[in-house]
Structure 1
Amino acid sequence: MPTFEIAWTRRTSHQWRKHADDWVVEATLTERAIVGDKPALKVVCRLAVIAEDKLDDIAERDAFWHQARARLGRLQRLDGRDIDDIEMQLAKRVPRPAPATSEPSAPATVRPSAHPIRGPCADRRCGDGDELDKMSFSR
């Protein structure tokens, strides 16, 4: 059974500059394997990159996780358990962004209405069966 690990690399974002101030952290997926009767780490792929000074920025973390999950999804040899283990290793260094709430929370002073809005039958009694008689099906 293969075991996967994350190798973290810190490098400048501009390799050609000698004194670059922009450092990035790169997550590389590696696999432990036996090569010639000796244990070795094989590089599988580069997962994602994030600027080191922007690890606290929610948008940057979201982009990092989007990039990492897209790359993990393209690797056919990983099963669900492997992906979960890899994501746990990634989360130790780059926390997952909080999920967005679909509904904004209501202010504390707002109370639910005593008279809820009803459907098209609010002003008349539904279920009597005579609504069908009132409806016109002719064209």
Structure 2
Amino acid sequence: MSLSPFHLAIPVYDLSAARAFYNDVFGLSEGRSSDHWVDFNFFGHQLVIHEHPKTPGQEAVHTNPVDGHDVPVPHFGVVLGWGEWEALAARLKARDTQFVIEPYVRFKGEVGEQATMFLLDPCGNALEFKAFKDMNQLFAK
């Protein structure tokens, strides 16, 4: 399957803290930037953090129940290969990352079984990283 990179621009109310987070926690390389925004190579996709006053969603996270966990909404992230996901989970745990939902396997033994984890950036933007052992399960019902 060949995918086109997505472009996602998100608000951050502390550009310096968010820049350090995406650089240090994930080791993302920077592209273009200005005094008010920074481009990142987000696992092959273009993520742009834009300086912006705190949004209501960053003030109080809304959640929906999924597989016994409170999933933050909205959120974004990427689907990684299983090994990449495991390496990222290990990296984040080694950094004593505070997770919204700790890394685990969701829907175990069911259609759509997947590894997942959720965390917040310093500005309250929720991120999900997931992986499937069988990528054919990505859109399975």
- Fold-level match, TM-score > 0.5? no
More strand by share: 2
- Higher Cα Rg, which structure: 1
- Bin the TM-score by the shorter chain: under 0.3
TM-score (norm 2): 0.27
User: Relative contact order, CA 8 A, sep 6+: which one is greater?
Assistant: 2
TM-score (norm 1): 0.27
